[in-house]
Structure formats: structure tokens, C-alpha cells
Amino acid sequence: FGQQTLQTRVSLSAQNSRLDDVLTQLGTQAQLRFVYSGNTIAADDRVSLSVQNQPLNQVLDRLLSPRKLAYALVGQNQVVIRQAEERTQRPAATVTGRVTDAKTGDGIPGVNVLVRGTQQGTTTDVDGRYSLNVPSDRSELSFSFVGYLPQTIPIGNRSTINVLLAEDARSLNEVVVTALGIKREEKALGYATQKLDGNAVTDAPANSVVNALSGKVAGLNLTKTDGPMGSSRVTLRGESILDLNSPGALIVVDGEPISTGFQGVGHGAYLGGDSPVDFGSALTDIDPNNIESINVLKGPAASALYGSRAGSGAIIITTKSGKRDQKGIGVTLNSYISVDDVNRWPDYQYEYGQGTAGQNYYSYGTTADGPGTHNTSSAWGPRFDGQSFFQYDSPRDANGLPTARTPWVPYKDNRKDFFRKGITLNNNISISNNGDKGTTRLSLSHLKNDWILPNTGYQRISVGFSNQSQISTNLSTNVKLNYYNKFSDNLPTTGYNNQSIMYFLAFQNPNINLDWYKPYWVPGREGIEQSHPFSSLIDNPYLIVNEMLNKSNRHNITGNVSATYTLLKGLDLTLHGGLDAGYEFRSQQRPMNTQKFQAGMYRQQNVFNVETNTDFLLRYQLKPSADFQVTANAGGNVLIQSQKFTNQLADRLVIPGVYNLANSEQLPLTRSDRADKQINSLYGFVNLAYKNVAFFDITGRNDWSSTLPRQNNSFFYPSTTLSLIVSDIVKLPSWVSYAKVRGAYASVGYDARLGTYNLEKVYEPGVFPGELENPNIIANPNLRPQRNNSWEAGTEWRLFKNRLSFDLTVYRQLTIDQILYAPVEYASGYNSSLINMGRVVNRGIELTLTGSPIKNARGFNWDATLNWAMNRNMVEELNNGTGSVVLARYVGSRVTLEAREGRPLGELYGLGFKRSPDGQIVYDKTGYPLLTDQFINLGTATPKWRGGLANTFRYRGLSLSVLIDHQQGGRVYSLTNSVLGEQGKITATLPGRYDGLIGPGVTQNADGTYVPNTTKAANIVTYYSRLYGRDNVEANTFDATFTKLREVRLAYTLPPSVLGKTFLRGATIGIYGRDLYNWTKFPGFDPETSTLDNSTITPGLEIAQFPSTRTMGANLTVSF
């Protein structure tokens, strides 16, 4: 190794060949790479050479010395070529240049550029550019950056020095932002992390930052709601929590955890008094333009220091800061426009029209043909055979009686046409500046979304501010502030209920022209009586989008201020204060004569959330010997959370169309909630490093939480991790560039969540003035903290000169004593009980495989990343007396999501087909399928595994990225399928319409034996009701496997040669697509779905989901 490489014998014969081609050939033979900047070797520099089996260094000497070029081996296999040093005195001057990655040619931001022998230096800007004053007595610049080999370059008399930095193959190392914002080298970590650049969320933006992470992180699982706001629940390493209301992974922005939940409007998704609306949260409001990087700390070991909330892992988002740039002010503009449209539909049938079974005619109202058949929501009526009937559009006489029949035809776009193309337009400008003592960055964004439903959408204004100042040699300060204002004049109502568009669509019949609904008031009765020409059960969809409005205006501010003071050499004190505060004003209005609010309705809600974190951290670094490095930390934190929610309800209005509380028919009702919580913590941790090859960390933390009873409110939890760089300890084959093994154990304690006031019985206000009611929850004065104990082991390898690398993690997490509102039998007098319960185990594997199948000197590169993760969970024990916990019940308790002992967490239960011992469906004597008497297990809602394959092809400035996202397994109950099925609206209900059909299966004889079913089911409506009706949960539960073409992006970055002639410093234009195609057998819109119920996101259930969308967009980034 080492200098031996330069002794490698080479053979070559070249005639008038380009020097760079010759070097490439030599490099191939010697298995090394030459690194030099573009102007070092001229493109037209040609050589003739013939050598046989000569040492490489001799050949190089022959080639390079005449050209006044020097070379040096750097690391194992890189040879840097540069101009030979010229020892001439030169005047003080400003040197500028650009530092680029030797492999990709991209500028490297943040490179330390130092005048050798001084403290004078700078860092490169976002494009890798720097500018530095060099005193006359100094002659060399040093360039260094983590993960790259440092270089020292003589200045000579040049004023421009462009530098290529080569990756340090032996210890290619990323800096990872870990808990408490501490930056660590990736190799020192004993637990799994995954880092993404900001462009992971900006290249093909999704409706929420976390939704853009889909398929990019092994082990990241998103439970997404549909709709413009895109609230989602993020879990890492599978679900271990029985409480669906728990927030999942902790999301931290610049060291400040942000609120991911939102205050619901208190309504269920299935036929509630009103319906849920996704108003979004601080999480959905994050501006992706501001994001510098995202670090996913997957296990609790990574995040033990964030305390209770980080037991399910943490996603650490770092926003951008100003870059040191001696040129002064830098400006970047970034814009995108995207268009959404619906990418998938249920398989609607357009062969038969409205009507109940066996009706061979249609009549709008009672006519000469017979009684009216227009009221039914079912489509079991006559076939579209070119006949004519008295219909809604029949001409009418003065008495309103129809005078002629009109053609009986389907309107095949009468669902699709209700939607429009959604358009999102985003503009961002950021300005950064570098002063003498710090950097500042200011970013301003505006986003406007018109969602696919007419008259819905939102706007977002965001401001990001960052300042870093070196106030004195001992004191530095850091301020980051992000402000968001998101407002909407109408957000769509979700769920299966009046007021939701998807409810209407389930009832829309094939023979009804959507246009007939367009005049949504009865003429002359505007504002008082709506027009619903068919079933009066459903609200007119145009009334819904134009008059039933859900408005929101939310202000969020997330920020923190920190100051670090160096007390002694090696001893730093950091004080930090952080704030995440949000205020939202919402209003909901419903006009008169709407199905749920006959007298109209107006409600307004004030939502105020605040969390503050105040902490200190004392950090001491020492080096007791040359081989050891020790960092010891001690810190403390005070966390205060507060939530205030006021809902004022005027559910009957006096004057139509006037929406304010004063218009209430009776005194408006006010409901308010207020929750407060405080956790005080002390913690300490020690990092030990030995010879930079072995790293050992130990942490300990104690929390005191206000949500637990006094005797149990203090709890301690430790973690320990180990990382060994195997490739630096033992000699490995040369094709192994890097190998690391790691292991971690962590225990995390949790308190009860904010708003837990059930440690003792507390009466609640009742409906009568002055009335108190008993709570429906059984209080628990002996609640204990919950625990999550986990270990993980992992290994990371880089092979074949980094052409292939992988990172594999296995883990086991045990969650015990979960704090849960467990449903209890009502006869106890209560409906739930706050308890510690359960032992849930999650075991899993995470794999990230990265490769560069093609890496071409001509600049064509293909990089591929595969993320794959599987998780198996098991409810080992519940010890709640029943052996099961109902996590959620839906559709009038017909479907439950449960945790049962000895089973995976989150399985669906409901009635299903009665089956013979060999598994065949049993029919009754009249030919209709029979249902079970008891709930049966219908499979787990969580997938077997998930994986994402990202490919990037680059050719010079052009790049093409393709991300494919796959989920294997998981079951989803579809109410949409049930409703469409029982109403005869999907093609699956076409067979047997006139002559009945014989269901495949068996019937049971009186003696208990089974014989094949031969009875024809005469009434096809009864047949399909048994098959798809809401009671048959099994038949409406489907495999949620899907493969999605998640992201495709084609981008072009203007090369420096073009840019050099302009005032621009960089320009990139891209076109992209998101969710372009979805391969799945799921019958609804999208198997990747969940149900929003009040403020809970429930997986495994599709309750009238919104259509899934395909997004196509273009973005442009310009900096100058």
C-alpha cells in the first residue's frame, strides 16, 4: 500500500494522444485516479509515449515534469496533480476560486479554506466558491472538509485557484446532526442514521415535507391522510405504540421539537354530527426551501437525549444558514409550478342506471310509466340499451309534468368532471450575507395551492432567518427563526358523511349528469333551500364546495437562540432557548337546509399551541493521551407545553347566509380545552474515542414529568453505543474501502401525553348549565412511566472504491407498560380506562444499498440507492384482562383495528364469510352467502416490507432521477368499495343482474355435511349486499401492496463555462413528476391511505378517501 502504488508497473503506447486520456489509462492500470483541476492540463495537450512495464512514478515524472506539474499520492488511490510550486514572493492579494467534488464536479459548500500558518480563513459558499485575502508572506492555502482528503496548494502568482477535492475513500465520513443538535462524525455513531440533503424534499415537492421522504429512508413509514394539507403520522421501525393518537417519530427543526398533531374538530369519519377536516399542523407548514438537511435517527438510542418523545426515533431537520462568501451578498431564487390530477379511479360501471332490483323502467317522479324511481342511490336499474325514459331533463309542461322521454344514457365523466387540475405555485427568494463576524440568511417564500376540488386550497407565506455571529473569540451566538402563515378560504371536509364530496360521489348514479346539480339553490329560494333533484339524503356537491366552508388561518413560529461561551480551553457552555408556537383561527360555516344543519351553522375555533425548551449544556473535551479523546457533557432542560382550544358553536342560525356568532338562534355554546405539561430533565453523556477507530458513548437522563402521579413522575433512562472501524483495525482486502460495525442499547422512558388529566376522577361539564358529569374514562392514580428498551446492531461497508456500499441494521425493540386509554366494556360504566399495559416487540432489518453501476470519465454516472426495511411486531402480552385492545372502531363498530395477545399489532377484525372446514364460502338455502357470527381476523394493517429504489443518471449538467417505491402486504378495509358494491356501482356487480347467479361455494345440509352450492340467488341486490354490504368486512378488505413510480426528475444545471459569461452563479432547471403511476390491485383510489378521525390518523381503514393525485411540475433555481 501507500507509496507502493506509485511503483506499480505500467505499460502504455500512445501516439499524439490527449494527456488526460493517457492519465486515465495509466490510472486504470494502477487502480488509482488522477485528480486535477481543469486548467492544470489543457485539453489540447497531446503526448506520444511508449513504455513497457515501468514503475508508474517514472512514467509520471516523464510526463509531468516538463509541464511544471507536480503530483502526490493522496490516500490510497488518488493522485493529485497540480502546478509545481514556484517560490516567488508576491504581493498580498485576494484569491478566489471554486472547490468542486472531484467525482461529481459539483461545488462543495462549507469547505474550510485557510491561509496556511494563520487563523485567517473562510468557508466556501453554496456553490463551492470562496474568496480570501492572502498576506504577502504566506504562500499556501489549505482546503479541508469532512469526508474529503485535505489539500494544501501553493498560491504562486495566481489570483484564481480552483480546487478539486477527492473523497477520502478510507474514511468517507458525513457529519450527522444528532440529538441536541450536536454534530458528530457518522463513523463515531453506534446507531443507524440516514442523511438526506435538502433537495430530497425540494426536487419533487410533496404537500408536506415528510411526505416527500417516502421511499428514501429505510424503515420510515408514513400513514398519510389524503387532501391538500397532507397530515401524516411518521413512524420509524414499525409501530410499537398501541395509542393511535401518539405522535410517532419526533420531528425536530433546528433543535426545537415541533408539534405534529393538530386539534381536530371533534368528529368521526363515519356519519358523525359533522365531519373531520385536515387543517394541518406545524409539521405540514414547514417550508422545504429552507431545509438544508434531514437526518433520520432511527432508533431510540439515537434520540435518548431528546427524552420521552423520541423513543420512536427522530427526524432532525436543519434549516439553511448563511454561507461564508466574501463576495458579500448572494441571492438565490427558486420557483416551481406543479399540476395535480387524479391518477386512479374505482372501476365504476356505466352499463346500468339508477334503480332498485328488477326495475325495468326509470321514472323521474310519478309518470305515465309508473312511480318515481329517482330517489334511490342504487344503480340496479335498467341497462343502457338506447331506450328513453322520463328523466330529469325531460321537457315539461306548465304543470311541471314531463312531456317526452329522453335518451337513457350514462354520463361517464359525471364523477371525474367534478375535479379540476390542482395547481401549486411556489416562489422563494433567499439572501445570504457574510459579515466580518458572522453570517446571515433570510428567506422568503410564497406558495399558493389550488387543490383538485373546486374552491379549495391554501396559501403559505414563510420567512426563514438565520444568523451566526462570532461575537468574540470566546463567544458565538446562533439565531434561527422560521415563521409560517398558512391560510385557506376552504379546506375540504373528509370522511363518509353529508358535507363531504366523497360521500356525494359514492351516491352519484351513472345516469345523472353532473351539470344538473350546478344550480345548487332552488330558484327563488336562494340561501334557504338547496336543490337536490335526486336523493334528498345527500347534499348538492356544488353547495358543499361553494357554501360549506372550512376556513383556517394559522401562524407558526419556530425558532431558537443559542450562545456558546468558551469558559476554558476545551470547556464550552451552551445556553439555548427554543420556541414552537402556533396560533390558528378557524371558522366553519354551513348554509341553511344542509342535511346536518337545517338551520345553518357557524362555528369558530381558536387553537393555540406553544412549546418552549430552555436548556444548558456544558461540554468538556480533553485528550488524556495521544490515542484517547474524551468529550464529557452535562445538561439540563425545561420543557413546557401548552395547548388552548376554544370552540364556539352556533349550530342554528337566524338569518340565512350571515355567519357570525351573533346570528345564533340561541346562546352560542362554548367548549374549551386547555392542557399544560412540564418536564424537567437532567442528563449527561460521555463520548470516548480511541485512535479514531473505536468509539464508545454512554448517556443517562432523568425526567420529572407533570403528567404522571407524584410518586412515579421521576424516571431515569440510559443508553450506550459502540462503533468500531474494522477497516482501520484489521487489514482487509483492497476492494474493501471501509468497514464499520456498531451496536447500541437504549432504554427510553415515556410520560403520559399532554392533556392527560386522568390520574384521579375529575368531573366534566355536562349539557345542562351548572351540571357536572362523570368522566367516561376510568382514572388511574398509579400510572407508571412507559418504557421502550431496544438494542440494535449494524454494519456499514464500502467496497470497490466506493462503487458499492451497504448499511445493514438489525434491531429489537420492546415496549412495556404503555400508557393507554384502553376501551373497556360499557357495562363497567365507562368506555375506556387509562392504564399501563402490554409488551410489544418489534424486530426488523433495515438495509441501504448504494452503488454506482456506471462511473465514466466522460461524465456519465449512474448512482443507485436501495432502501429496504421489514418489521415484524408482536403483542406478547396485554395484561388488561381481556387479551385484546381495540385501537379503533369504525363503520358503526363493524370494523375494528385491534391488538391481541400473541398477534401482530394493528390487525383488522370484522364479520366475514362463513366458511366450510376446507375454506369455501357457505351459502344459505336461497343461494346467498352467509356471514360469520363472530368477528374474524382479517389481517394486519401494517405492510410486510417497504422498499424504495432511487436511480440517478448524470451526464455533465444533465441529471435524471427515478424513484420507485414499493410496499408489500398490509391490509386495508375499503368503505368506498362496500358502498359502491352494495349500490351496484362497480363493474364487480355486473354479473347476474337479470337472471341471478350461483355463488361459488357450498351449502350445509341438515346433517352438517357440505355440498356444492347449486342454488341461484334470485335477488341480485340481496346477493351483492351480502357480498359487499357494510357487515361483510372480509369482502371489503384488500391487500395494500403497491408499487409507485414515486418521483421522476430531469434537471439541467448550466455549466460554469456558460455561467462565466453572465452575472449568474448557478442555474438549474428541472421538470418532475410525483406519484406518476400506481401499480396495485386495490379497488379504491390508493391503498396508501388512512382515515382521519377527529385528530387521529388511523391506518388500515379507508373511509371515503379523496382521490390520489399525480403531480407534474417544473422548478427553476437561479443564484447570483
By CB under 8 A, name the binding residues for another protein. 356-359, 366, 370-373, 375-376, 536-537, 595-599, 651-652, 666, 669, 761, 767-768, 773-774, 776, 778-779, 823-831, 833, 881-884, 886, 889, 892-894, 896, 898, 909, 911, 933-935, 1019, 1021-1022, 1031
Please identify, using beta-carbon distances, which residue of 500 and 552 lies nearer to another protein: 500
Phi, psi of 62 (to 5 degrees): -60, -40
Helix pair 1020-1028, 975-982: axis angle to 10 deg: 170
Rounded to the nearest 5 degrees, what angle is found at the Cα of 828, between the Cα atoms of 823 and 834? 40
Please identify, using beta-carbon distances, which residue of 392 and 704 lies nearer to another protein: 392
Concatenating the DSSP letter of every residue in 754-792 gives TT---SS---EE-SSTT-EE--SEE--TT---EEEEEEE
Please identify, using beta-carbon distances, which residue of 515 and 665 lies nearer to another protein: 665
Beta bridge partners of 93: 134
Grid cell in block for residue 86: 514556484
Cα–Cα distance measured from residue 260 to residue 676, given in angstroms and rounded to the nearest whole number = 17
Contact 750, 819 (CB under 8 A): yes
Please identify, using beta-carbon distances, which residue of 572 and 1031 lies nearer to another protein: 1031
Cα–Cα distance measured from residue 1049 to residue 1072, given in angstroms and rounded to the nearest whole number = 4
**Min separation Cβ 535 and another protein, Å:** 9
In residues, how long is the chain? 1120
Please identify, using beta-carbon distances, which residue of 571 and 886 lies nearer to another protein: 886
**Min separation Cβ 393 and another protein, Å:** 20
Please identify, using beta-carbon distances, which residue of 117 and 371 lies nearer to another protein: 371
Cα–Cα distance measured from residue 611 to residue 803, given in angstroms and rounded to the nearest whole number = 45
Please identify, using beta-carbon distances, which residue of 121 and 775 lies nearer to another protein: 775
**Min separation Cβ 776 and another protein, Å:** 6
**Min separation Cβ 381 and another protein, Å:** 10
Q: Give the contacts of 1110 (CB within 8 A, at least 6 positions apart).
A: 340, 341, 342, 343, 1073, 1074, 1075, 1076, 1077
| Matching residue, cell 417550508 | 287
Please identify, using beta-carbon distances, which residue of 628 and 826 lies nearer to another protein: 826
**Min separation Cβ 902 and another protein, Å:** 15
**Min separation Cβ 901 and another protein, Å:** 12
**Min separation Cβ 517 and another protein, Å:** 17
Cα–Cα distance measured from residue 407 to residue 388, given in angstroms and rounded to the nearest whole number = 4
**Min separation Cβ 1026 and another protein, Å:** 12
Please identify, using beta-carbon distances, which residue of 148 and 270 lies nearer to another protein: 270
Task: Report CA-CA distances (Å) from 349 to 273, 360, 798, 977.
Answer: 31, 18, 54, 13
Task: Report CA-CA distances (Å) from 281 to 484, 644, 691.
Answer: 11, 15, 46
Please identify, using beta-carbon distances, which residue of 828 and 856 lies nearer to another protein: 828
Please identify, using beta-carbon distances, which residue of 730 and 827 lies nearer to another protein: 827
Grid cell in block for residue 959: 441529471
Please identify, using beta-carbon distances, which residue of 1023 and 1038 lies nearer to another protein: 1023
**Min separation Cβ 889 and another protein, Å:** 7
Cα–Cα distance measured from residue 387 to residue 547, given in angstroms and rounded to the nearest whole number = 37
**Min separation Cβ 725 and another protein, Å:** 52
Query: Containing H/E element for 34?
Result: strand 33-35
Please identify, using beta-carbon distances, which residue of 204 and 878 lies nearer to another protein: 878
Give which of 686, 321, 258 is closest to 484, Cα–Cα. 258
Please identify, using beta-carbon distances, which residue of 336 and 890 lies nearer to another protein: 890
**Min separation Cβ 773 and another protein, Å:** 6
**Min separation Cβ 502 and another protein, Å:** 19
Cα–Cα distance measured from residue 555 to residue 487, given in angstroms and rounded to the nearest whole number = 9
- Torsion, CA 214, CA 220, CA 224, CA 227, rounded to 10: -30
**Min separation Cβ 246 and another protein, Å:** 22
Among positive and negative, which fits the CA dihedral 706, 708, 711, 713?
negative
Contact 230, 207 (CB under 8 A): yes
**Min separation Cβ 913 and another protein, Å:** 15
Contact 843, 219 (CB under 8 A): no
Q: How far apart are the first and last CA of the chain?
A: 45
**Min separation Cβ 989 and another protein, Å:** 16
Concatenating the DSSP letter of every residue in 1035-1081 gives GGEEE--EEEEEEEEEEEE--HHHHTTSS-SEEEEEEEEEEEEEEE-
Please identify, using beta-carbon distances, which residue of 624 and 769 lies nearer to another protein: 769
Indicate the DSSP class of residue 270: B
Please identify, using beta-carbon distances, which residue of 226 and 539 lies nearer to another protein: 539
**Min separation Cβ 270 and another protein, Å:** 11
Contact 495, 272 (CB under 8 A): yes
**Min separation Cβ 538 and another protein, Å:** 10
Contact 432, 440 (CB under 8 A): yes
| Matching residue, cell 503526448 | 47
Task: Report CA-CA distances (Å) from 1038 to 684, 873, 987, 1042, 1087.
Answer: 49, 20, 17, 12, 9
Please identify, using beta-carbon distances, which residue of 261 and 823 lies nearer to another protein: 823
Please identify, using beta-carbon distances, which residue of 1 and 768 lies nearer to another protein: 768
Indicate the DSSP class of residue 45: -
Contact 104, 133 (CB under 8 A): no
